[in-house]
Amino acid sequence: MNAATAVEFDTELLERNRHLRTDRTTFPLRGDEDVVGLRKHVRERAVAIGLSLVDQTKLVTAASELGRNTIKYGGGGEVHLDKLADGFRNGIGLLFVDNGPGIADLEQALRDGYTTGGGLGLGL
């Protein structure tokens, strides 16, 4: 899957699930303080919908890592934090947007151990 295909997939997924979104809040991502604020808001929403502490931690960690990547590799951007509901269940949607170059080889980037930034290769 190349970057263009990933964008098409993400757009299709968002359109298919648009009816689930009950509320959207958008936050800027320019620096560390914005990531700290994002973590706080994600945790609050996770608590509000009754996620377990383990699931809260997983979601907050994922949001934090994606927020930092948006700043580091995308030059900053924004995140849309959505409340999702289908009448039976509640959820949280996160959409990170930046104007960075994208991921040249998404399939390779998703493999365990792959990194271009000197990290552990566990982020994606």
| pTM (two decimals) | 0.77
In whole angstroms, give the CA distance from residue 67 to residue 102. 15
What is the rounded end-to-end Cα distance, in angstroms, of the chain? 14
Note down the domain range covering 33. 3-107
Number of domains in the chain: 1
Amino acid at 27: F
Query: Which residue matches tokens 């964008």?
Result: 7
pLDDT digits (tens, 9 = 90+) for 73-120: 899 999 999 988 888 888 899 999 998 888 777 788 778 777 776 666
C-alpha 55 chain-centroid distance: 15
| 62 part of a folded domain | yes
Structural domain includes residue 76:
yes
Q: What percent of the chain has pLDDT over 90?
A: 48
Residue 28 forms part of a structural domain: yes
* CATH (domain of 68): 3.30.565.10
CA 2 centroid distance within chain: 18
Note the pLDDT tens digit of each residue in 12-25.
666 666 667 778 89
Helix (H) / strand (E) containing 32 = helix 32-48
